[in-house]
Structure 1
Amino acid sequence: MARDQTLLSGCVPAFARHNGYPPRWGWPVKVHAALREDTQAFARAKAPGTLGVGSSIVAPMRFWSLAFGLIRQDERACGGPRPVCATGRGHWLLEEEEGADPYLEEAATLWLLHWWLLSAQPCHVPTFRYLFGIWGRSRFARAELQAAVQDAAVATGWSRPADRRIQRDITALVSMYGTTGQPDRPSAHAVEEYVSNPFRQLGLLELAAAEAHFGEQPRTTRPSDRDLRVNRHRGTSCCPRAILAYACLQYAQLQDVRAPGAIALGRLHTDPVGPGRLLLADRRALRTALEQVEVGPTGRGVRLAASGDGEELLAFTEPPGDLADRLLAARYRRLDGPASQR
């Protein structure tokens, strides 16, 4: 197989470091509180008691906070032999009294974390990045996704990942995002799962009902046997406009587009690591979000324009990262955005 270095090259070449556990409600703020008291918290034998979880959950909690960009390991910044400390992003979001949304009560925050997770450089969840950003299929079986991710890893120049590791990735992905598509008839178990797995409310991934052939009754299948469906550009997948505009500006920053400058709306829509793909937004949603964006008292600094050949552009007169930060500060009614925190 020919190598394609663009497939997963922006990701860490590792799979299932979450051990199959999705991020649960309350994990980020627990990690943040523990590290505020002790940057060695994860290295201590008493870590399960400090975090209030079983010993098998400690590593997944650390992994997800790292993958969202809420913590970092840096001996110079944190001190000690195995230190982990909060990033500016973590401080901005999770401080108990001053954080933007420490308990992830707003759906917008879940969209924001989803964007941070998949747009990270490097991205720590290559299977997730591949599904939402690279693979164009909307309905598929788990085995098909597993084979596609393994082929993509080889094409990127990595060793072929073991079946069980990709299977754990898919288990975590389905547990994190998967819904039954029947929110009007939730069982007690389903309600508990929604509470434990807050990202399900985004409606990004659905366990598709078994299809029947003509003249047959629909087949009854276990949830683990069902096909999966990505809800691309549907009403259940509506990223808030402020978060979508923030992602467009941060994407321009990550692509090193300087100010004054511009970036094509088509690129924002179709790039595998852009907001259109990763946030499941169509071109119209991107345009609407950017038309209504305000990044300061006057709302100046960003506008939609057209190139000489009529291509739609997002143009800005200030660094897009600064604009993105101000936009997020305004959305959460904060004085500053996450990039201003140290």
Structure 2
Amino acid sequence: MRSLLDRPDVRLQVSGHETFPCRYGWLKKSYDAVVRAAPGGIEQVLAVFNPNQAIADFGVGKNMVASMRHWAIACGVLDATIKGGRTESLGPSAIGNKIFGGGDPFLEMPASLWLLHWRLVAMPGRATTWYFAFNEFNDAIFTRETLSARLMARVEELRDSGRLSGSRIARATIDRDAECFVRTYVSRSSKKGISEDGLESPFAELGLVAPLGGGALQFRRGPKPSLPDEVFALALIEFWQQHFPTRGTLSVEAIAHEPSSPGRVFLLDEESLVERLERIADMTAGAIAWDEGAGLRQVSARVEVSTISALTFVDQLYPDYQEAA
């Protein structure tokens, strides 16, 4: 099975979150601040996350300011162009506009969290540990330590192959990433109830990772009834366009098990996946069709996959968002 970590065009990054999981309110605050600053040009936009200004504007500490920026970009709320360590552009993304531009600014709809989760973990990017955990780490039951050890072993393989020959990624950094990953998806509780971090991590609502006790955790694979078909359709098309653009068909096995696939990212079992694929023609106005003839289980493209606009599938989920003319 292919690994996106091997691709030289894919940027790998651990850290950046300053040990803070994404918290409620951070994505909206980041989006709103960038939109307000946009008329002043790129210098004004970049100043949004300058600690001298942001500490007062956001009411958080310096490290949290850096974490807010990290999560807004990692979750696809903001689009950034970074070259040589310098940010050349920063602005709201199409998904950011749909959600925080009026569609669901307070993340009250499960669809929004599923969309942000998809953006966060479908590609390595700024959250390599999050990508690895869902897409290339195959232990259904695990601990923070085993996740960290497996990723460190993978980093060493990439170093040996020359892919990360100049990297200085340390085990301690990966340990912090693994801890932050767990805090992103698992509500932290104590004798007094759910802790502050647990309450403030919106992705814990998705129920993708469950604590088993004694430090053990479990990925919860299953139907995901709160995942809208519209978000699933968007994910399927983006997966197809990014990784198999010349193929006219995709098998159930690829959609369920390939890295960056909807099955992997959303932890869908094959039965639930097939149920959604049986409805895919209705969701895509016939552009994609389910086919199980001749013993095959696959979806077929009735048009060029590259011509399909995946974002249009989620438009009806955000009727209150009006795109600027």
| TM-score relative to the length of structure 1 | 0.78
Contact 1:5-1:156 at 8 Å conserved across structures: no
- Distance in 1 (CA, whole Å) between partners of 2:121 and 2:94 is 18
Distance 1:238 1:34, change over 3 A: closer
Q: Which runs of 5+ in 2 are unaligned?
A: 38-44
1:59 aligns with 2:66: yes
- Partner of 1:331 in structure 2? 317
- Partner of 1:139 in structure 2? 141
- Partner of 1:15 in structure 2? 14
Q: What letter is aligned with 1:59?
A: A
Which digits, 9 at most, give the CA deviation of each residue in 1:251-271, with x for residues without a partner? 111124258x32222110110
Q: Which runs of 5+ in 1 are unaligned?
A: 211-225
Residue pairs, 1:14-53, within 5 angstroms:
14-38=13-37, 39-40=45-46, 41-43=48-50, 45-53=52-60
Greater mean deviation of Cα atoms: 168-177 or 287-296: 287-296
- Distance in 2 (CA, whole Å) between partners of 1:168 and 1:53 is 21
Contact 2:21-2:183 at 8 Å conserved across structures: yes
Which digits, 9 at most, give the CA deviation of each residue in 1:106-131, with x for residues without a partner? 112111111111113x5221212111
Residue pairs, 1:99-138, within 5 angstroms:
99-120=102-123, 122-138=124-140
Q: What letter is aligned with 1:171?
A: E
Which digits, 9 at most, give the CA deviation of each residue in 1:52-71, with x for residues without a partner? 32222011111111111221
- Distance in 2 (CA, whole Å) between partners of 1:341 and 1:256 is 32
- Distance in 2 (CA, whole Å) between partners of 1:81 and 1:277 is 31
Secondary structure at the aligned position of 1:8 is classed as helix
Could you say which structure has the higher helix fraction?
A: 2
- Distance in 2 (CA, whole Å) between partners of 1:64 and 1:12 is 16
1:247 aligns with 2:250: no
Query: What's the CA shift for 1:176?
Result: 0.9
Contact 1:206-1:229 at 8 Å conserved across structures: yes
1:303 aligns with 2:315: no
Contact 2:51-2:62 at 8 Å conserved across structures: no
- Distance in 1 (CA, whole Å) between partners of 2:218 and 2:168 is 25
- Partner of 2:40 in structure 1? none
Secondary structure at the aligned position of 1:45 is classed as helix
Could you say which structure has the higher strand fraction?
A: 2
- Partner of 2:41 in structure 1? none
| TM-score relative to the length of structure 2 | 0.82
1:313 aligns with 2:298: yes
- Equivalenced residue count is 305
- Distance in 1 (CA, whole Å) between partners of 2:234 and 2:250 is 14
- Partner of 2:218 in structure 1? 229
- Distance in 2 (CA, whole Å) between partners of 1:255 and 1:83 is 26
Identity of aligned residues (%): 25
Q: What letter is aligned with 1:46?
A: Q
Q: What letter is aligned with 1:253?
A: Q
1:84 aligns with 2:75: no
1:93 aligns with 2:99: yes
Distance 1:236 1:86, change over 3 A: closer
- Distance in 1 (CA, whole Å) between partners of 2:18 and 2:51 is 20
Query: What's the CA shift for 1:331?
Result: 3.3
Contact 1:16-1:165 at 8 Å conserved across structures: yes
Q: What letter is aligned with 1:243?
A: V
Secondary structure at the aligned position of 1:245 is classed as helix
